[in-house]
Amino acid sequence: MPRISINGVAHDIDADPQMPLLWVIRDILGMTGTKFGCGVGACGACTVHIDGSATRSCMTALADVAGHEVTTIEGLSADGSHPVQQAWVAHNVPQCGYCQAGQIMQAADLMKQTPNPSEQQIIDAMSGNICRCGTYQRIRAAITAATDLHASTQSSSKAR
């Protein structure tokens, strides 16, 4: 029985090892923050972090995450205080909100890998995430703001 760790909690999952992590999270563990959008890796709605890297959970088999650490939107921060979540709130990014968990997880990964992304780096990192409502303008602004926020908290903690 594959054992996986989600948001720091270990679960033994009794399911087809080929079942995509997305459906394990949603149907077996009942955590619905991670969304289904396409099932083929084309929309980013299902994005989670595996060992810290943004990954499409619809394309990741349960068997492949055994022994790895999965973070979902519910585990990104305890209280919505991750700089990306804060920037999303400050820019009123969501419309329907459905794609936003995936967008936020993708953006959080970008910020970690590339603390000061250029416009083109933001585009490259975020082009796999579809928002049918069309919140891209605000997502871009929020990411820029979040990286600034992140940079300023880092430099102030360094100063201390």
Partner 1 sequence: MTHIINLSRRDLLKAGAGVSALVLGMHAGLREFPVAQAAEGASFEPNVYLGIDETGLVTIVAHRSEMGTGIRTGLPMVLADELEADWSRVKVLQANGDPKYGDQNTDGSRSMRQFYQTMRVAGATARQMLEDAAALTWHVDPNECHARNHAVVHTPTGRQLPFGDLVKLAAGLPVPSDDHISLHFKSPQARRYVGKPVPIVDLHDIVRGQAKYGIDTVLPGMKYASIERCPVYGGKVRSFDSKAALAVPGVEQVVEVPATPAPSGFNPLGGIAVIANSTWAAQQGRLQLKIDWDFGANAGYDTTSYRKELEATAQKAGRVVRAEGDVDGALQSAAKRVSADYFVPHYSHAPMEVPAAAARVENSKCEVWAPSQNPQGARTTVADVLSLKESDVTIHTTLLGGAFGRKSKHDFIAEAAWLAQKIGAPVKVTWTREDDIQHDYFHAICAQHIEAGLDGNGAATAWLHRTVFPPIEATFQPSVTYGTAGELQQGFMDVPYAIANVRCENGPAQNHVRIGWYRSVFNVPHAFAVCSFADELAAAAGRDPVEYLRELIGPARIIDLRAIGVDYPNYGAPLDQYPIDTARLHGVLDLAVANSGWGEALPQRHGRGVAVHRSFLTYVAVVAHVAIGNDGQIAIPRIDMAVDCGLVVNPDRVRSQFEGAAIMAISNALYSNITAKDGRIEQSNFTDYDVARTDITPETHVHIVESSAPPAGVGEPGVPPTAPAICNAIFAATGKRIRALPIDPSELKST
- What's the sign of the alpha-carbon dihedral 45, 6, 78, 23? positive
- Pattern of binders to ligand FES over 21-60, x per CB under 6 A? ---------------xxxx-xxxxxx---------x-x--
In whole angstroms, how far apart are CA 58 and each of 19, 23, 39, 61, 78? Answer: 9, 8, 5, 8, 24
List the single partner that 9 binds among partner 1, ligand FES, none, CB under 5 to 8 Å by kind. none
- Pattern of binders to ligand FES over 65-104, x per CB under 6 A? -----------------------------xxxxxxx----
Q: Looking at 49-57, 95-103, 110-118, 149-157, which segment touches partner 1 (CB under 8 A)?
A: 95-103
- Helix or strand (DSSP H, E) at 17: none
Which C-beta is closer to partner 1: that of 44 or that of 160? 44
The residue length of the chain stands at 160
Residues in Cβ contact with 92 at an 8 Å cutoff, skipping those fewer than 6 apart? 138
CB of 2 to ligand FES, least distance (A): 20
